[in-house]
Amino acid sequence: MQQTPTAPDAGATAPDPARRFERVGEPILSIRGLKTHFTMDEGVVRAVDGVSFDLHAGEVVGVVGESGCGKSITMKSVLRLVQKPGRIVAGEIIYRRPASGKHKALEVDLAKLPEAGRRIRQIRGGDIALIPQEPMASFSPLHSIGSQIVEAILLHQDVSKREAKEIAIEKLREVGMPSPEQRFDAYSWQLSGGLRQRAIIAMALSCNPAILVADEPTTAIDVTTQAQVLELLKQLQREHGSSIVFITHDLGVIAQLADHVVVMYLGRVMEQGPVHDIFHRPRHPYTRALLQSVPSLHAEPRIQLPTVAGSIPHPLQRPTGCPFHPRCPDAMPGRCDVAMPALYAAPGGSPVACFLHHDHEEADDG
Amino acid sequence: MPEVAANVPDLDAPDVVTKGGASAVYVAPAWKLTWWRFRKHKLALVSLWVVVLITAIAAMPEFFATQDPNTTSARHAFIPPQTIQFVHEGRPAMPFAYGVVGQRDPRTLRMEWAIDTEVRYPVRLFARGFEYRLLGLIPTDRHLIGFAGASGTDIPNLLGTDRLGRDQWSRLTYGTRISLSIGLVAVALSTVLGILLGGISGYFGGLVDNVIQRLIELLQALPPIPVWLALSAALPRTWPVTWVYFAITVILALLGWTRLAREVRGRFLSLREEDFVLAARLVGASRARVIFSHMVPSFTSHIIAATTLAIPLMILNETFLSFLGLGMRPPAISWGVMLQESQNLQSVVNAPWLMIPGLFVIVTVLALNILGDGLRDAADPYSS
Amino acid sequence: MHWFILKRLLVVPFMLFIFSIISFVLIQAPPGDFLTSYIAELTQGGSSVDQAQIDALRQTYGLDRPMVEQYFTWIGRMLQGDLGVSLEWNRANSELIGERLLLTLLLTTFSLLFTWAVAIPIGIISATRKYSLVDYVFTVLNYIGLATPNFLLALVLMWIAFDRFGLSVTGLFSPEFAQAPWSWARVADLMSHIWLPMIVLGVAGTAQIARVVRANLLDELGKPYSEMARAKGLPEWKLVLKYPTRVAIAPVVSTLGWYFPQLLSGGVVVSVVMSLPTIGPLLLRALVGQDMYLAGVIILLFSVLTVIGTLVSDILLAVLDPRIRMDGA
């Protein structure tokens, strides 16, 4: 990782310039205008409010944003794991599975499937697997990790219990679990944080899913283990060419892993584009503010680290117009606080939702 | 420390403030917040009023009674309830009660009572009756309700009479005083014991904590009713009513403090680990200040809730003891003592209204339980 | 696992020792020793006092000795299986207790199983359908169950059965079987009678435990491992039963520690009202008649049962929860 001289800011760890991902063909996952709202006594929380982005086969998409920006809810919506009072109120989640082996090609709108139905259950874990935030709490304390992995395998693959156990041990070995045969019978609370996260990854990989959703998988573990887990994910991605949606608030992680970045704020996509563009030519003021707030080895020492001014508005008190305008250094009064800029891509560019770059307003649909 | 990690809140979950306007929430004192949350719980609000009413009856039973609860008249035994009527001969009427006529069954020699629709006693509010001192201070003869034209044994018995011809409604009002106050006093005693021992246990920890915890476990493992029974059986029969009363409360409190002590200790332990307590300590607050201005306010609401939930248990226990004849004894009147009259199937079949005191027990315990739950939920700032 | 059970077993004698002291203190609690009141009662009743018999009793129980010595005489006899003699009944305590103990245990165990069989499903349904109509109905029923003294429930049920159907539902046996020796017919007769007391006794506990299950399960349903299981593609009901329910139920087993004594307690009152031939009425008579040695034996017996109940619950908990099992190893 080296500092690219062309970087306009003194901030973030930059992505590896050698890594380029060319998007070709149809995306494996397309999210279009997704809205997930939580209806409470106090009002409606628009946790996800019109999110669109694509994931191509073999690509790593990093979804980045502050706490409460709706990035986790977006991915929970994809897996249809949003619990009441949350509900998908609009949008499409198109999943396209290419034909492979015995599986037929499939194109389905996940947002339209019944939440507890058979079809979505087959996709969960089988086609799209989750690597959750808290490895500690994501295994049941009363069941051995092996039995929980075997369960996942038996749900999606037509194998015997013994074969499932072999697959599980094989997966544990693959994620670098030392002596997987013995660890198979261990309980999650007997493992260290790093090993638990490895076990979770093994469970996610156990059914060879087409898409991995990693929901801040490194937040709850310490920094050295974090590095190991990231290294493991990179290696697995290289070997299997997995498609990964990586949710994080850590720009450093994004720089290391992602090919394509989606920047979210208050349930909306502010800007998205190839990782190099986002890091070197950020256009949205929010993206710039985020990048500046990342400490860097190369920045001038002993200066105050810039932070994003102000704080995230209360979810029930969304600002009018662009949600970022109260904190935006470049906000244009009479424009940004009145209308919401659409996520619009100029020809040849990537989409950004800001009136500094275009004049397209979001069609108001409440 | 997996417990700690498991409690890390989901950072992505949208947090929400309570109703009442976001700006007001941030400046409201804790008790006000508690009250706002409590008010949302409709059932608890209703229960609060029920408890207030019952407490009023307990405070001035004479005012609510219609007759002297101790006047016996064997000739007027087992009169069925003469409820207040609003309709006479198919037409609405001012509230009144019918009289009764008794006839002795020539074969069983029992008095059979029938409603006499010829005799009507209109209900009067704040009527004159027997003399008493309101709250033990003000001499008066006014009662909440009375019946015009009725005196002595003619006075309608709203809930019927018992084996000795005593008016059940009046006895119930007096019984409320003893049953409720026994619950309160026993819980007060338990609370003092519980807070003292629980606090000591939670604050000092170590050996003291261990000894107290083992003691609590031991006491909780005892089957309570047999032990209570044995202890009250040991009370001399010759003791006056007031002595028995206090002895019973002490006996009830003796096993009752353990729950509260556990609660207090648990609170103390978890609060000791809280960040705001640590923060107070780090800025150099004295030990007393940490305890009294940081820790105590954040658990008084829990203690109040736990206490409210302990009262109904005590009331039930007193009822059990008295029902079995080993708690309060006649001439004292308590709900349990009254229910003793209905101890066997025979008396229940002959006079089902003897079970009415049980209804009072159920309503009181129900209201106190719901109230306690409402308080507990309201006191917990993290409940949704 | 074995270590865990062994450790628990080691506590048992200690607890029994403490309970025996408590029982003994209770025997001694009434003013004056029981022989004095016994003699007074006999004289009052106009019967002649057999001085030789009284001297023998004084000798047996060592009533002229210091308290500590009396305790050891008493407990020593108990350990040898001599439960003493009831003064009121003039029969051996063991003879009086015998079958009553069996029936008490049977009733208590049945109530316990009834409680679990009803409370756990109610708790699960309430938690998984939080704030639904079913949940509200169960919540209201729970409150009422908690507030109703079991003797009152017994009275009301007995009254309804008699008033509506002309049935007398007291006792555990039909008259023809009450004194009969054990046979299959007698067992069948017992089963046809025991269900009502079983329900009456179990209602309050059912309400309590359903609440515990509901609250625990609600906590567990929000845990990441429940969501993870869902993300694996597990069907909802299977997931609820396999993961959070198992975690939520484990503590229910440990409620046996307080629930068992509570059932024994409640059994005393219910038995008196429903005239059940269990230990309860015997204890009450012994206490009212100040037949303190009989009462002491019964209370000690209850304590022993409680200790056994706690032990069983600890072992069950260890079986259900590997964290406890391994911690003890």
pLDDT-above-70 percentage for chain C: 89
- Does residue A101 sit in the same domain as residue A182? no
Confidence of residue C45 (pLDDT cuts 50, 70, 90): low
pLDDT given at position A138 = 86
> Which of B6, B220, B229 comes nearest C287 by C-beta?
B229
Number of A–B residue contacts, CB under 8 Å: 46
Q: Kindly state whether residues A113 and A163 are assigned to the same domain.
A: no
Percent of chain C's residues with pLDDT above 90: 6
> Helices in B137-205 by DSSP H: which ranges?
168-204
Residues A123 and A140 in one domain: no
> Is the residue at A217 inside a domain?
no
Question: What residues in chain B have per-residue pLDDT under 50?
Answer: 1-25, 384
Q: pLDDT above 70 covers what percent of chain A? A: 91
| Residue B19 with chain A: CB contacts under 8 Å | 41-42
pLDDT computed for residue A300 by the predictor: 66
Does any domain span residue A339? yes
| ipTM of this complex prediction, to 2 decimal places | 0.81
Strand (E) or helix (H) holding A59? none
Q: Which residues pair with A29 in a beta bridge?
A: A55, A95
pLDDT at B19: 41
Residue A5 has pLDDT above 50, yes or no: no
Substitution target in B210, B229, B232 with the highest count of C β-carbons within 10 Å is: B229
**pLDDT tens figures, B178-223:** 899 988 888 888 888 888 887 787 777 778 888 888 888 788 777 7
Q: Which residue has the higher pLDDT, C149 or B265?
A: C149
pLDDT: which is higher, C147 or A317: C147
All structural domains of chain B, each given as residue ranges with its CATH number in brackets, are 1-30 (no CATH), 82-156 (no CATH), 172-378 (1.10.3720.10)
As a CATH number, domain C101-327 is: 1.10.3720.10
Domain identity same for A36 and A145: no
Q: Which residues of B touch C223 (CB under 8 A)?
A: 6
How confident is the model at residue B152, as a pLDDT? 74
Instruction: Tell me the chain A residues in contact with residue C233 when contact means C-beta distances shorter than 8 Å.
Output: 121-126, 152, 155-156
Chains touching C by CB (3 or more pairs below 8 Å): A, B
| Residues A365 and A310 reside in one and the same domain | yes
Q: Which residues of A touch C227 (CB under 8 A)?
A: 81, 132, 138
Among the partner-chain residues A42, A67, A136, the one whose CB lies closest to the CB of B12 is A67
- pTM of this structure: 0.78
Mean pLDDT, chain B, integer: 79
Domain boundaries, chain C: 101-327
Among B361, B353, B362, B335, CA closest to B163? B353
Interface of C with B in 144-203 (CB under 8 A): 144, 146-149, 151-152, 155-156, 158-159, 162-163, 168, 170
pLDDT at A342 over 70: yes
Asked whether residue A20 is assigned to any structural domain, the reply reads no
Chains that touch B (3 or more CB pairs under 8 A): A, C
Average confidence (pLDDT) over A225-243: 85
Q: Pick from C217, C232, C319, C324 the residue to mutate for testing the A interface (most A CBs within 10 Å).
A: C232
Max CA-CA distance within chain A?
Answer: 67
CB C85 within 8 A of CB C91: yes
Domain count, chain A: 2
Q: Out of B233, B343, B362, whose CB is closest to C287?
A: B233
Say if the Cβ atoms of B355 and C168 lie within 8 Å.
no
Mean pLDDT taken over chain A: 83
Note whether residue A228 is domain-resident. no
pLDDT tens-digit readout, A246-262 = 998 888 888 888 899 99
CA distance B97 to chain C (A): 27
Residue of B5, B12, B17 lying closest to A220 (CB–CB): B5
Give me the phi and psi of A182, to 5 degrees please. Answer: -80, -40
Section C94-121 average pLDDT: 89
Nearest to C290 among B233, B323, B342 (CB): B233
Least confident of A37-41, B165-169, B222-226, C242-246: B222-226
Which tops the pLDDT comparison, A145 or A319?
Answer: A145
Examine the domain organization and report whether A202 and A284 are in the same domain: no
In a domain, A235, yes or no: no
Task: Please give the pLDDT value at position B1.
Answer: 33
Structure tokens at B151: 């005196």
**Which pLDDT score, from 0 to 100, does residue A9 have?**
42
- The answer to whether the Cβ–Cβ distance between A187 and C322 falls below 8 Å is yes
Domain shared by A250 and A362, yes or no:
yes
Contact at CB, B5 and A45, closer than 8 angstroms: no
Whether residue A332 sits in one domain with residue A193: no
State which residues form the domain around A185. Answer: 130-208
Looking at the fold, whether A160 and A65 belong to one and the same domain comes out as no
pLDDT digits (tens, 9 = 90+) for A167-189: 999 999 988 888 889 889 988 88
Q: Is A286 a member of any domain?
A: yes
CA gap B80, C82 in Å, rounded? 53
Same domain, A258 and A347: yes
Is the domain of A247 the same as that of A364?
Answer: yes
Nearest to B16 among A72, A134, A316 (CB): A316
Give A79 to chain C, closest Cα distance, Å: 7
Do A137 and C229 count as a contact with CB atoms less than 8 A apart? no
Dist. CA A294–CA A298, nearest whole Å: 11
In a domain, A19, yes or no: no
User: How would residue C35 be classed by pLDDT, with cut points 50, 70 and 90?
Assistant: low
Residue A7 has pLDDT above 50, yes or no: no
Report the residue count for chain C: 329
Co-location of A155 and A281 in the same domain? no
Radius of gyration of chain C (CA): 24
Of A185, A208, A231, the domain-final residue:
A208
CB contacts of B354 in chain C (<8 Å) are none
Amino acid type, A196: R
Q: Cβ of C299 and B369 within 8 Å?
A: no
In contact, C269 and B226? CB cutoff 8 Å: no
* DSSP states along C58-111: HHHHTTTS-HHHHHHHHHHHHHTT---EETTTTEEHHHHHHHHHHHHHHHHHHH
A311: closest CA of chain B, how far (Å)? 14
Whether B316 contacts B335, CB under 8 Å: no
- pLDDT level of residue A280 (50, 70, 90 thresholds): confident
Residue A118 has pLDDT above 80, yes or no: yes
CATH number reported for the structural domain that contains residue A350 in this entry: 3.40.50.300
Domain assignment present for A226: no
Q: What is the pLDDT of residues A346-363, one digit of tens each?
A: 777 788 888 888 888 876
Query: Least CB-CB distance to A136: which of B6, B12, B13?
Result: B6
Measured between alpha carbons, how far is residue A119 from residues A5, A29, A80, A105, A156 in Å? 50, 16, 11, 14, 12
In chain C, the residue whose alpha carbon lies closest to the alpha carbon of B327 is C288
Predicted confidence (pLDDT) at residue A58 exceeds the cutoff of 70: yes
